[in-house]
Structure 1
Amino acid sequence: MDFLPIFLNIKGRSCLVVGGGEVAARKTALLLKAGGQVRVVSPILNDELGNHLQLGNIIHYAEAFDSKHLNNVVLVIAATNERSVNQYVSESANQLSIPVNVVDDPALCSFIMPSILDRSPILVAISSGGTSPVLARLLRARLETLIPEAYGHLATYAAKFREHVKRRFSSPKKRRLFWERILQGPFTEMVFSGKNRSAQAYLLRSLEHETDELPCGEVYLVGAGPGNPDLLTFRAMRLMQQADVVVYDRLVSPAILDMVRRDAARIYAGKERDKHVLPQESINHLLVRLAKEGKRVLRLKGGDPFIFGRGGEEIETLSQHHIPFQVVPGITAASGVASYAGIPLTHRDYAQSCIFVTGHLKNNTINLDWSALARPQQTIVIYMGLHGLPVLCEQLITHGLPASTPAAIVQQGTTHRQRVVIGSLETLPALASSANMIPPTLIIVGEVVKLHQKLAWFEPVYDLNGK
């Protein structure tokens, strides 16, 4: 995050705009709309600024900028077409610790002006950090279609009942739960359609029937997919935003964890090779305890919770303790990673079946049905197999697969750090070792791997320094 997004109250406070052209006029109009008292420094003004002057909206200093113009101002915008002047404004403001924005010159800014979606009192500010203002405007245009004007009216109308709700519920959490349910129900549609009296009656009835006791909690078992946030389901996103606490695994990427509600508590329950932060049984009972405390618990797992995710064990424990739960499937690594690596798991010419197995080593052995795996025209997808790769390849050859059988290992698939190494059962262990592959990885064995070179479409940006 290059800039801290904040909303500044400038009502009744002095703001300075340096410049008298079209850009300065736009910035002046924005400051006036936010209630600022605007001073404009420029030898001449364009027609729009001249109109503001005639109407008494601004104070005008018809002269070149001087540091004296910064007296008692809380914000400065430099919008001249002379970089030397803009730089002087920036340096003078920074010396006095006054926030300064220089239009189209991020290097001289201490703050930047976002693209704004105004649904007052709801405001959405979108910024590219000064790198691409046009992209920010395009994103705002897309949001314009998703957030209608009625949301501003909804916020204003709901504000009338804040004190009613506050008096009714002593617990801030209970108030939040009440508002979440109300704003996702009939109340909102009534306000949107102009039925204010019906909306008021509905809200007051809801208040009468609510108790001040916290409800029993619930557990959301959510698949986070293989790592790319774009692959989350809509339902997963919705539950991630309403959870009180998240219990997450090592395979949940930071980008996905950042999408959880910001004030939700976070508990790491990751498992690495020979290193378990929390044993599985402890995780099961942690979910029960948190739910019994009235919390909405997000159990966030990489991939799909029911494919090598031990989700079945967790909800079995929840069921035994009569804890409400729901399950949201995720894109499992086999599907997501293979797709991004350009390797179809089935193909009419190469494979008519696909099998998923875990390659986790225990006492330097892997207990698998090798005869069932080593079959022709079948794709084998191996989870957690990096450390056991030499054993896996050796056993598959021993049980009948040709040493030349194509094989691939994919690291951090679907993300911008994806790496794909292609070889055969005979060569893949050495290739993976020389490439310094690290978990999480997925291994794919079968003739379909031949298609990678032809079908690879995803071009990740990977820095060997790990950045």
Structure 2
Amino acid sequence: MPLYPVNLNIANRLCVVIGGGSVAFRKVKTLLDCEGVVRIVSPYVEPGLKKFILEKQVEWFEREYAKGDLQGAFLAFAATSDPDVQLQVKEEAQKYQAILNSADDPVGSDFHVPAHFRRGKMLVTVSTGGGSPAMSKQIRERLELDFGLEYEAVVDFLAMVREAVVSSDVDSATRQKLFRNLLKVDILGLVRESNWFDLQMMLLQELPENIDAVALIKRFLDEHDKK
């Protein structure tokens, strides 16, 4: 079954996780990282989830799943070890039109959570469509080595340049050419070496005169130093 690739904004949206074990913990952690409003329904929770509860990062219904628990949910996660509960959650998700991820039923799920890692704004995901989570994990681990922590700074830098260019009066064709030219420069190498002088010289050469390359580098370094 072909899956549609999408990055989903769940900030301030209700995400209900049915279950309190290790699978539920992984789901909840990722949801919180993405600023979702998380509700857990389970008579027990594992220690990692208990920490989130004590810190009031999530809402906990300390009981078994009951009908109506998915009302108002944007995302629903069935993460219990009880097949009957898993099926009930699936049926209720359909009733309330909540988008469902079922831990034991990839085919019956509306979406899968791919293997992934982040480098600041950069999100890299790998999916085998539920066919082999182990292979997805293996590929993700390889990519983590290829795309090191310095990519966060590179993406931040390119985003800052893009913001400055887009807000200037440069026409669309010139913008696209400029962005392509920037990617031909070894920005990654300059960032790795903290070679800010050559990075500034490159910007002075590539950017339109109405964009202050020196101020741009200073702003980047100021924000980079805070991280």
Q: Under a length normalisation based on structure 1, what TM-score does the superposition of the two structures give? A: 0.42
2:195 corresponds in structure 1 to 195
Match of 1:115 in 2: 115
Give, in angstroms, the shift of residue 63 of structure 1: 1.5
Give me the whole-angstrom Cα distance separating, in 1, the residues matched to 2:163 and 2:41. 45
Structure 2 distance, partners of 1:17, 1:123, is 23
Q: Which has the higher helix share?
A: 2
CA contact 1:43–1:63 (8 Å) conserved in 2 = yes
Matching of residues 447-458 of structure 1 within 5 Å: none
Map Cα deviations across residues 62-121 of structure 1 (whole Å, 9 max, x no partner).
122223222222111111011111111111112222111011311320111100021121
Separation of aligned partners in 2, 1:57 and 1:193:
39
CA apart distance, 1:36 = 1.1
Residue 152 (structure 1) aligns with = 152
Are 1:154 and 1:192, in contact at CA under 8 Å, matched by a contact in 2? no
Equivalence for 1:4: 4
Q: Which aligned pairs between 1:183-332 and structure 2 lie closer than 5 A?
A: 183-196=183-196, 198-208=198-208
8 Å CA contact 2:39–2:59 kept in 1: the answer is yes
2-structure distance, mates of 1:151, 1:62 = 41
Secondary structure of the equivalent of 2:175? helix
Tell me the amino acid that sits aligned with residue 130 of structure 2: G
Question: CA 1:112/1:199 → structure 2, altered by over 3 Å: closer, same or farther?
Answer: same
For CA contacts below 8 A with separation 6 or more, give which structure has more relative contact order: 2
Work out the CA distance in 2 between the residues paired with 1:67 and 1:81: 18
Contact 1:168 1:207 in 2 (8 A): no
CA contact (8 A) 1:182 1:188 kept: no
Please say if residues 19 and 78 of structure 1, whose CA atoms lie closer than 8 Å, have aligned partners that are also in contact.
yes
- Give the letter aligned to residue 202 of structure 2: Y
Counterpart residue identity of residue 141, structure 1: E
Compared CA separation, residues 50 and 107, structure 1 to 2 (3 A) = same
Contact 1:101/1:109 (CA < 8 Å) preserved in 2?
A: yes
- Distance in 1 (CA, whole Å) between partners of 2:86 and 2:49 is 19
**1:129 equivalent in structure 2:** 129
Structure that is richer in strand per residue = 1
**Equivalent pair of 1:187/1:202 in contact (CA under 8 Å):** no
Q: Which residue of 2 aligns with 1:62?
A: 62
Matched position secondary structure for 1:66: coil
Q: Give the distance between the partners of 1:23 and 1:186, measured in 2 at CA.
A: 41
Shift in Å, 1:201: 4.3
Q: Does the CA contact (< 8 Å) of 2:19 and 2:42 recur in 1?
A: yes
SS at match of 1:143: helix
- Counterpart Cα distance in 1 of 2:204 and 2:39: 47
**Residues of 1 paired with 2:96 and 2:158: CA distance?**
41
- TM-score with structure 2 setting the length: 0.84
**Equivalent residue letter for 1:178:** L
Contact 2:71–2:96 (Cα < 8 Å) also in 1: no
- Looking at structure 2, the residues matched to 196 and 99 of structure 1 have their Cα atoms a distance apart, in angstroms, of 46
% identical equivalent positions: 31
Gaps of 5+ in 1: 210-467
Task: Specify the alignment match of 1:443 in structure 2.
Answer: none
Aligned residue identity for 1:150: E
1:92 corresponds to which residue? 92
Cα distance between partner residues in 1 of 2:25 and 2:186:
43
Number of equivalenced pairs: 209
Shift of 1:143: 1.2
Aligned to 1:82: 82
Deviations 1:426-458 (A, max 9, x none): xxxxxxxxxxxxxxxxxxxxxxxxxxxxxxxxx
Q: 1:148 to 1:102 in 2, by over 3 A?
A: same
Structure 2 residue matching 1:69: 3-state secondary structure: coil
Q: Which amino acid aligns with 1:92?
A: E
Change (3 A) 1:116 1:31: same
**Deviation of the 1:198 alpha carbon:** 4.3
